[in-house]
Amino acid sequence: MVTPVEGVSRSESQAASTEAPAALAGTGATRPAATEPALLPTQAETTVVEPAAETASPPLACTAPVELTPAMTEGPYFKAGSPEDASLFEDGMAGTRLVLSGYVLTTDCQPVANALVDIWQADAQGNYDNAGYRLRGHVFTDATGRYQIETVVPGEYPGRTEHIHVKVQGPGGPVLTTQLFFPGVQHNETDRIFSDKLLLEIQDTPDGVQGIYNFVIATS
């Protein structure tokens, strides 16, 4: 069950809607009214094939059942109420540009449409914006379960290797709180909560890198 959090702010247009979106537990985000079916049409039992229209991510190979993405500590810097924003990168922002993308899936390899993906992270110098919402934002997956957020590769801070915090929640489902890590970072070995199950797949792009991660979540 999802328990609405207190203090959730809705935009005026959302508040005026006759179908007020449900508050997302622990995130301060509100989900737009569902307009897409939750699941793709039935496919070959265990495999989800990426539609041809999607070109930014590699074909998705998923063999059911898949393990749930491990949960990880929230840490001290989460702030509810992040903006819905697919581009957290700002002109002049230091650091390597990162396009974070992937799918949100069930353990049966079914895409989860309209799932919340909410991230927060340090900037390239290892600093969080605790006053505002710089490098904090959320998106919702499309009908194929895909999400994408533009940001920068975070810097390290004392005791922590490079990581991005994330909350993922399917419609009506529990919130997965976890963190994503970067391959080949020296301090992965000394970060006491690092997990290689949460490593991004990194590919170079003309202006930075692409980081791919597919989340597998519980939906009830």
Q: Which spans of this chain sit near Fe ion (rule: CB under 5 A)?
A: 75
Pair of tokens at residue 75: 């840490």
Task: Tell me how far, at minimum, the Cβ of 179 lies from Fe ion, in Å.
Answer: 7
Task: Tell me how far, at minimum, the Cβ of 109 lies from Fe ion, in Å.
Answer: 30
- For Fe ion, the closer of residues 32 and 159 by Cβ is 159
- If you search the block for the tokens 């890590």, which residue do you land on? 181
Pair of tokens at residue 56: 């930014």
Task: Tell me how far, at minimum, the Cβ of 74 lies from Fe ion, in Å.
Answer: 9
- Helix then strand then coil, % of the chain, to nearest 5: 5, 25, 70
Question: 204 exposed, middle or buried (CB, 10 Å; 0-12, 13-18, 19+)?
Answer: exposed
- For Fe ion, the closer of residues 75 and 208 by Cβ is 75
Task: Tell me how far, at minimum, the Cβ of 186 lies from Fe ion, in Å.
Answer: 17
- For Fe ion, the closer of residues 75 and 155 by Cβ is 75
Task: Tell me how far, at minimum, the Cβ of 132 lies from Fe ion, in Å.
Answer: 17
Rounded Cα distance, 186 and 152, in Å: 19
What residues does 104 pair with on adjacent strands?
A: 215
Task: Tally Cβ neighbours within 10 Å of residue 142.
Answer: 17
- For Fe ion, the closer of residues 108 and 191 by Cβ is 191
> Looking at this protein, which amino acid is placed at residue 213?
Y
Q: How many CA atoms lie within 13 A of 96 on its CB side?
A: 17
Nearest residue relative to Fe ion (C-beta) = 75
- For Fe ion, the closer of residues 115 and 180 by Cβ is 180
Task: Tell me how far, at minimum, the Cβ of 68 lies from Fe ion, in Å.
Answer: 22
Pair of tokens at residue 147: 């999400």
Q: Is the peptide bond before 65 cis (omega within 30 degrees of 0)?
A: yes
Task: Tell me how far, at minimum, the Cβ of 207 lies from Fe ion, in Å.
Answer: 25
Pair of tokens at residue 65: 């059942």
Rounded Cα distance, 96 and 14, in Å: 35
Residue 122 is classified by DSSP as: -
